[in-house]
Structure 1
Amino acid sequence: MKRVSSAYLDRAALHYLERFASSSANLRKLLLRRVDASARAHGTDPAEGREWVEALIQRYQRQGILNDGLYAEMKAGGLQRRGGSTRMIRQKLTAKGLDDGQVEAALAGLEGADEGEAEMKAAIAYARRRRLGGFRPDRGLPEEEVRARRDKDIAAMARAGFDLETARRVIDADDPSAL
């Protein structure tokens, strides 16, 4: 493990941000892990490293390299397109260290959020991606197997964070394009 310095943390942060989008809290956590590992390995003071990390985060925020609001909107949109429920999106954004105001603003900015369609669009995308319900390629099965698969499909939608009514509407639709 290299000894951490201000320049080292700057290079490490920029290298990480070149590859991944990140929230301020997530980058802080990542850099503090390096500071703590260096302090254990070299017997240095971790408080000095924490000060460097805070200064670095503030500088990146001033320069616009880190923008938590923009990150939240981008991440929420991507998760919705992949079929993420609003509940799951809220949990993932909170886990990345975003505050409630940023999370709520990102959820309000989702496609279809103003008409209340965001959850249904995400449910349809999730069912299509996972090939559930009407998106299942092997239709025309015996009735008992269809019932068993229906229950499993609804359970999968529930585990993904969708409410029962939305899951039933998506799974029970005869024609997925009608949704």
Structure 2
Amino acid sequence: MLEELAVAYVARFATSAKALERYCRRKLRERGWEGQEEGTPAPDVAALVSRFVEKRYVDDEEFARLRTGSLLRRGYGARRVGAALDQAGIAGEDRHDISQADRRHAALRMAEKRRFGPFGADGAPADDRAVREKQIAAMIRAGHSLDAARELVDAPDQDTARDWAHALDEEEYR
């Protein structure tokens, strides 16, 4: 029964080994397995998860790569990506370093999406200090560095902001 639930779960969701283990333990709790009939052994969740890892139904490294890419494309910064991977139980050896260029692209994506700085309605950075501080704070909460947030929110125009984000791309090709 538990194996069928686990197969259905990994078929439906991209997941990590730790998240699958939490899911299986929760299902056992919900279905009242703990303290059930004496003499009936509880399913070995750790063995089930390790079998799924061996069969590559669950691949933490691939999950980390996909989750990192997804969050960066949505405009989240490196700290927020790290927190999401921590939550999923991804160990350090399964994580990939996020390049400075990817960090800048993610910051630019967030500024464009949320209409911060020169991406606002009038195409210029906000004159109001309180608005600028709120925009910078939102970028920091999304996992971006203070320097990146300031650079984008204070950029005089959209071209300058985009040039800042793409500056490292040009250096890689030299």
- Place the TM-score, normalised by the shorter chain, in its bin: 0.7 to 0.9
The superposition leaves residues 123-155 of structure 1 with CA deviations (integer Å, 9 ceiling, x where unpaired) of 111111222111112457984xx3332121111
Amino acid at match of 2:151: R
Structure 2 match to 1:70: 62
- How many percent identity over aligned positions? 30
Amino acid at match of 1:37: E
Kindly state the Cα deviation for residue 161 of structure 1 after the two structures are TM-superposed: 2.0
1:49/1:130 Cα in 2 relative to 1: closer, same or farther (>3 Å)?
farther
The superposition leaves residues 86-138 of structure 1 with CA deviations (integer Å, 9 ceiling, x where unpaired) of 011011101111112223xx2x2x4xx1xx21221111111112221111124
Count of paired positions: 160
Amino acid at match of 1:98: I
CA contact (8 A) 1:32 1:50 kept: no
Amino acid at match of 1:95: Q
Answering whether residue 79 of structure 2 is matched by residue 87 of structure 1, we say: yes
Answering whether residue 28 of structure 2 is matched by residue 35 of structure 1, we say: yes
TM (norm. structure 1) is 0.79
Q: Among 44, 48, 60, which residue is 1:56 paired with?
A: 48
CA contact (8 A) 2:117 2:126 kept: no
CA contact (8 A) 2:64 2:85 kept: yes
Structure 1 match to 2:104: 120
Q: Tell me which moved more, 33-42 or 165-174.
A: 33-42
Structure 2 match to 1:16: 9
Q: Which runs of 4+ in 1 moved over 6 A?
A: none
The unaligned stretches of length 5 or more in structure 2 are 163-174
Amino acid at match of 1:157: M
Amino acid at match of 2:28: V
Amino acid at match of 1:10: E
Structure 1 match to 2:139: 157
More helix by share: 1
1:88/1:140 Cα in 2 relative to 1: closer, same or farther (>3 Å)?
closer
Amino acid at match of 2:50: Q
Kindly state the Cα deviation for residue 66 of structure 1 after the two structures are TM-superposed: 0.7
Let me know the Cα RMSD of the aligned residues: 2.3
CA contact (8 A) 1:38 1:44 kept: no
1:168/1:43 Cα in 2 relative to 1: closer, same or farther (>3 Å)?
same
